[in-house]
Chain A
């Protein structure tokens, strides 16, 4: 574990990513305590106040402190994206491993169907699902998870195919273990590496997708200080008070970049091309 971390921070990109991620985690945990004001505390005299000592990142159209809203909004954004990615990856991983285990015609059928589902653009899929499930943060998470599953299934299957032919799986088959047992206990643990890498990179997509759904009015609902929603609210005042817009946009971008950098570093650290 320490060795892995050491390899990850060897390049500056990995180190920056990990630092960003730690800061992000701290904000998610401690955000509301770090915030100088309440996220919904209005101050009508301070409407559109420019960034300064009183409001570090300025104040919005209701005089709410943008920094405080950002800090409290982190937990409305990042954990949602994490949950969606975890659920989607788990679903995809089970489908992928099962498909590789079953093999032959069944595998072909599952993967072609999987390809077909993947042919629906992610945002479109999420929009359709949210329109069925109804607006709201929880439903947006479910929609993103389902939209992610096919991609993960494909990645997992390609790894699981190699595992399928290894002796310990053949031994399990010979011992007469059930399919579910083999898929979950024998094969799944041995394909975790690539899944974790893929999932880490996908969190950044999930952050963006979740914020986009909220931006379109289908995810988190007002008065939540979810970052995508904050951008959507700030748009009509963008010429008058650009800071209301810039702060949450930067927060979304930095979170996405953090997961991207860490995912890339993880991939490089787990697949050392030269030193093994």
Chain B
């Protein structure tokens, strides 16, 4: 990995964030809601409305409003919520931390299950076990999250009735209860992700199994275990990193649905509430925070990939 490549990659990330901010601002500008009207209510006098518009800078030209908004947003100031009157950014970041906790736990569960399962399916290629896992994985990819999530909620609350179906408790308050609340959502997200990761792991393992170095390792007389762990798994895992990073982006979208279904006050749910109540600053903050998180994880994945795979030379 050359320094020039790293710089270029970082520049691309910055450009992404710039484009996203332009888009988010443009989209929310076009929202049919009048911020001053929302703040003061239906019966506000024209003078009061005009005063608030001037205070909020709503009469400024659009580019100036954008410049103000971007400079404030860059310092983490997204204004105050029109619904609660509280600063938006801290609220959104707290919500994000809950979503990230859910996403990260689900990712760990996914990797622990999907990687061995994918290798197993590849080793049993063409047999019943492989066909079964392939069909399940295909179903997992073809079902929208809300269907999987509702089906699992239906099944799991019947099988595991002691688990609370909805709600959220902070792990800082009561970690045991928090885990019980998070169990179903984590399981749901994991089931969805396992399908993706397992499919990828299976096809990568199949590729690696046919490579010359695996044949060489076997001919050398290495025990099968060593071949699988040292040669096959290490090489097959590389592309999976990219898939996992893409899944984080998918997670950020999918998590909106999961959080709605399990009533978790994460960033997805916060954004949904903001959209349904037309709370402009919250929409902007939520969308920006989600998109930036995605941009960062994507960049990190590319960098980690480049670091791990010395064969790749990016110019």
**A-to-B contact residues, CB < 8 Å:** 112-113, 115-117, 119-124, 127-132, 134, 204, 207-209, 211-212, 215-218, 228, 231-232, 235, 238-239, 242, 245-246, 249, 252-253, 256-257, 260
Contacts and interface: CB of A to CB of B under 8 A. Distances in A.
16 contacts: A116-B15, A120-B291, A121-B290, A121-B291, A123-B257, A124-B271, A128-B27, A215-B144, A228-B146, A235-B261, A239-B154, A239-B157, A253-B139, A256-B142, A256-B143, A260-B142
Nearest to A245: B150
Interface in B138-165: 138-139, 141-147, 150-151, 153-154, 157-158
B298 A119 contact: yes
Describe B's contact surface by its main secondary structure: helix
A216 B253 contact: no
Given A117-B19, A228-B144, 6 more contacts: A119-B295, A127-B256, A128-B24, A128-B283, A231-B146, A256-B143
Nearest to B276: A217
A132 B294 contact: no
Nearest to B20: A120
A137 to B, nearest CB: 17
Nearest to B157: A239
A253 B154 contact: no
B249 A121 contact: yes
Contact of B150 (A204, A209, A249, A257): A249
B254 interface: yes
Interface of B: 12, 15-16, 18-20, 23-24, 27-28, 30-32, 138-139, 141-147, 150-151, 153-154, 157-158, 249-250, 252-254, 256-257, 260-261, 271-272, 275-276, 278, 283, 287, 290-291, 294-295, 298
Given A231-B150, A252-B144, A134 B252 contact: no
Q: Which of A121, A215, A257 gathers most chain B CB within 10 Å?
A: A121
B16 A115 contact: yes
B286 to A, nearest CB: 9
A266 to B, nearest CB: 16
Contacts of A130: 275
Contacts of A212: 144-146, 257
A238 B32 CA distance: 36
B278 A121 contact: no
Nearest to A242: B154
A95 B283 CA distance: 29
Contacts of A256: 142-144
A209 B257 CA distance: 11
Given A119-B16, A239-B154, A249-B151, A131 B275 contact: yes
B154 A245 contact: yes
A270 B292 CA distance: 39
B19 A116 contact: yes
A245 B294 CA distance: 32
B253 A122 contact: yes
A132 B25 CA distance: 11
A215 B271 CA distance: 15
A208 B147 CA distance: 9
Contacts of B272: 127, 216
A218 B147 CA distance: 17
A242 B153 CA distance: 11
